[in-house]
Structure 1
Amino acid sequence: MPHKKPDKRIPFLEPTFGDILVCNDNRWKPNIEIFVQSPENVIQGNLGTIFGIFEVNDDQKNSSYIANYLISVIKKEYFSRPKRGSIESFESALHKANLALSVLAEHGDVNWIGKLNGLIAVIEKNNIHLSQAGTASAFLFRKNFLTDISEGLSSEESAPNPLKTFTNISSGRIEDLDRIFITTEGTFTVFSHEEIKKNFQRFSYDALMQFLKTALGNELEKNASILIEIRAKEKIEFSAPEKSAEPVNAFSQNSFIKNKNQPEVSSELKEEIAKSKEEFTSKKTGHIYIKGNELPLTEENFLQVYFSEMKNSFLLNLKKNIKRAKAYILSTFSMDFLKKNNPPKKSEAQILETKQTPLLNTKAITSFFSELFIKIKKINLKEILSRVKIPNFLPSFSRFKKIASTLDYTQKIYALLVVLLIFFSPILFKKVGIFWQNQKDKSNPATEEATIPLEQDASVLRLGTGENIYQKEGLMGIVFLDKNPYFISRDSIYDFAQKEEIKLPDNVGEIITFSPMEDLRLIFIINQEFKTFAFSPTTKKFQENSLSVPENLEIVSSRSYLTYLYLLDKKNNQIYRYPRAEGGFGEKIDWIKDASNLESAMDIAINKDIYIAKNDGVLKYFRGKVQEFSLESSATPIIPYKIYVRLDSENIYVFDKENARIIKFDGSGKIIRQFYSEEIRKAENFSVDEEKNIIYITNSESALAIKIE
């Protein structure tokens, strides 16, 4: 019997959620909320479950919708990009919540500040991440110990800042039989820390839920709590059924039974084979031929072939006649010459007698050849011509006269035309052949002489010229905000959707870089003095922002991520990150932690990672450290000039100006497609709209939109 493998048991943790919402006064109902949101599909499965509680201790009408508003923002952002990790999605969701609160404060809704209590957490696989605002708390009960895992998470600033409502994140691992309890401050007016611990030790999960609901509902006016229990479930992975192996007896009757023949090919298949065989086999010779596509002769091809055959036929006949004449002359001359000068042939007896002579008569031989050479020298051209019957080859002009006298005027004209045709037809045929050859060369240029750009590269799409969508002297580039393009020039911003041009303030001066910030719906413009201006497409106004930069730097590009502004300084091999603050940006931090050589840096792009385009490749950074990353090579070496990524996409676009192409890579650096156009060689900046499949390129005078479908 073969050994049977035991079933493999894969444990995984599954949380059970129970919520307790108490509101004995209806006016507080909008101000206190609980939410638990699990993945809606398989793609979101890796993100786990996000949950939390909110309490706003302000009874003003403007504060009644804040809890629901925050829950909507957090859930939407957390599950918006399933390819991100849970911690990255959690950070992004918290940032969105802070941003939403900041917008409320900017509109004058500030009564809730200092009165918001909340706790948001994520459980994915065997990990938990949580963040706290205000006085809400979270406890972990494990092995009869109760621990406050939210201690010290909330901001310690004396003056609350909406942008720093949720600042810190705590992470840890969960285990089988863990219990997690998150609750608002009111719970501690009913139970002390020790009493909560004893109740967790005494009751099962269901009994504890019932106990807390009864106690908190009876004692408190409002309360929000969630109780979670972690249980390990066993996922049984069944082994594949074993094949039944019957014992084989080599001496049994079955061993000597021949295998059954396979069924014959169907009649339909036979007919098809026979038909194809007739099609490709010559009936006369039996040779197999491969039929090509027969191209019909066009009018041009027909004339070319006709004149070519006529010319070849004429030249062939002419050559034959010349050979005949030459052979006749030579034969006549040679026969006459040999009869006169050659001695008579010897008889066989004389030949035998000569062969039997023991010694050669050298004197006789010498005299014979001397006489022969003398006679040959005496022969001149006149003698040769006199012996050749030249009249047989030269035309008889008297005969021409006789024939011409018998012809009437019309016949003479036709005869003259025939003679002219005979003389000039070779020239005509030659000229026509040269003409058609020139036409052929023009319509079919030799591929070996023409240099086709990116001929050896794969996945190349050659684009058209595109549509000229905007013209402006001093155009610098394009940015997208809310999926709408904005064109930045030296003296204005053009809103393409509204077809409106907004003049820059006079004190902007010379622009060195610009960047959109989607989260704040602002476009930041930085001049050569590092003065920063924020443009709002909503109000169409500019506002100067504070930005402190170090001395002796060379900024070549800028980008934003969430509410952070990043500046690339190639002179100091550094990226500076600036957090958003009131009136502009706060103090910078040096974001790059590894030693890097950025002297040839050209551009920067940011999604969850930061990419720096250099003239010899692309660097990838995560949390300030260089990652192992390289772009797939192509037959034509890639020379990056600009780089572009989207926050909601893994694709990377590299602008290779020197080779007039934009290359699309996936997140791992493999080439997806190459887009070629000579217009790209003239461009200075670019952007991509993946939803509409359009590449936008700009030079100093115009902007083009090119379809890439």
Structure 2
Amino acid sequence: MVDFKVISTKPKYAVRIGKVLSKSPAASGFSTALVYRPDLPEEQKHGSIYFVIDIGSASPLAPDIAYNLIDIIKEEYYRDLALGPAQSFEAALKAANEEFAAIAKEGEKDWIGKTNVTIAVLSGDKLMAVHRGTNELHLWRNGKMMHLSADMYVPGETPRPEETLSNIIEGDLMVGDKIIASTAELLYYFSIDKIKRIIENYPPAEAARELASQLEKDGDVSKTNVIIAEFTVPEMITEDEGIPEDNWIGTTSSDYGRKFAPSHQDNGGNYWGGKTDAEASPTKSEPPADLAASIDAKTNDMAQEIEFTDDDPVAMVSPRRSPLGRLSFPKINVDYNQLGHNLTQITNKARLATKSPQFKKTGNVLMRYLKYAWLVVVAVVDLIFTTTSYWVDQIKKQKNGNRILLISVAVLAVVLVFSTITLANNNTAKISKKTAMDSLDSAIQNRDAAKAALIYEDKAKASELLASAYALAEAATKHDATKILQDIGTQLDEISLVKRYANPRILVDFNTLANQLETSGTKTGAKVTINNFFAVGDDIYSYDTEYNKVYKYNYSKNEAGIINSLVSNEKKIKLASAADNSIVVYTTPPSVYALELADNRMSAANLDTGIWNNAVDLIAYTSKLYFLDPDNNQIWKYQRTADGYTKIAPFFEDNSTISLAGATDFAIDGDMYLLANGVVNKYTLGQKVSFQLQGTPEHTGILGNIKDIYASLDTNGLFVLDADNSRVIAFTKDGNYRKQYVFS
């Protein structure tokens, strides 16, 4: 239960209503929004009821279930007016839940978990509401939006039928509050901030029209139904606000409104919503005649107030302009008396012109002002021209006047060009910022729409919306979009199964074993060199190609140590791979050893020497050994037997059609994956098949240079190491993206 307590300001109230309705023939289920106001005064004191219902079931009984619910709530709420509104509301909800249980008992259960209901009662200054499912219920108060239905929906919830209407919201209202009840689809198209701006700038009816207008442009609206109710006082309500207008989105079928009308015809007219335009739209009335007369009278009074009266007109005299002459510099003699005389003369001409009979004959007040404004403009232009001419005349009279005048013009031209460039740059910056702000606004809207899509468990739609939101937010990063970008990125990570590890702890540092290398007879200043590592059970193993050492990290003891050494002056460890309870070690010159983990004993393996002298990778998979040999364009394999291994055999029966040039790594999980020149190819039963790594989320960046790949019977796909982006990405066996781990 959500409770918000505000002191009531007035005992008498009224409610303004705005409604948006939509229904696409292609959409399954049933959705509507209705307002019920009783006619009887004693019932009116009990309050009015508001319904927003969205049943996502394709059952043909969905409309009947919805309107049956409406009828039961209405009948039970007004049945016993001796009860208080809260008691009546609880009785109505109890009756509705019993009806839901009866419907389920009869075998009609497809609606369970798909019924989204918001029912609100406004009685006096009290709000009582019940909420179930994905619908949205918000309260606007003093410039802030309160999400009343927050945390009331759990994706995948399937409540017991007798508990369908159990999430109660109660609170006190104050004059000016606005309640917005809607289906969740509204947030596909509008962010909460945008809805807030619309209801702040418009009364409910106009806000509903604005929402409908913008939704109409989208063209893909199916089940967006909205009720906007403003809690106010009767003095604020005009006569034409009695019946709310149904703002239908798209082309509405007349059958839709008539087929599913409430069953009780005696009060059918009190239901506002869910009907066609012809049934719901009120007839517009003409303005009263006395109002028009009042407007005319006020217009005449205004005309009389500003009427100009004065003496005879004065002839318009052209201003005197001095003849152009030569100027001397540097001394400039300015005749301020002449300038003042010119200014006074022009001002007087404009003032006297307004007193002329021709000007008075202009009956229209607006035209008089326009003429007056025109005369003022002419006077100002004339003044500027006269003053400029006077200054030019004075300059040219001075010594080197023409040169000074030319320099002055050049300076003015430079200033003009510089000013124009500055204004253009400022304007470009403003346009850029406006574009960025528009992008940010769209990003916020798409982000909120993605949240709504997740409520509907539509991950594909949510991912599409978030990817668009991320791109838009990136375009606005220079204008305070960093926070929203991070928010969208977090949501994208959740949908795309991206796990990020910032500053991951070091599990083991084999460099701590360097001092043991020195004591074992190696040169001073020894440094551990790790070429690869692998896990066997909970322990981690690695090998040192420089010192012929095999290292082990015991996870349970949190200890690292040297478990064996290949004692040889001729052979060097090159590769190793984990097998069952052992590690297979490959050396140069080519030899193979087996390190038994039970006693850390190393012994040479009895293998056919073959021609894998230059193997670049080794895998022990089930009972086989595989050697990647690019030089011979082949992968060699051995089968383990009781006495050792079988003779060497090629993996590719015909390697003339393939190329292993540039191959550096391979992996096996039943199929063979080969990494060559940064590209992963797949082979099944020795034959190359179509394969491509795809679907990596855009916001995490394109796939970089792959350094390593891994697969096994347990991975159910392929893991790749994208070192350029410090991440490991998991793909399915078909190459489709699954998830990723990012390190920073």
Identify whether the pair has TM-score above 0.5, normalized to the shorter chain: no
Between Structure 1 and Structure 2, the one with more helix by share is: 2
TM-score scaled by length of structure 2: 0.29
Calculate the TM-score normalised by the size of structure 1.
0.30
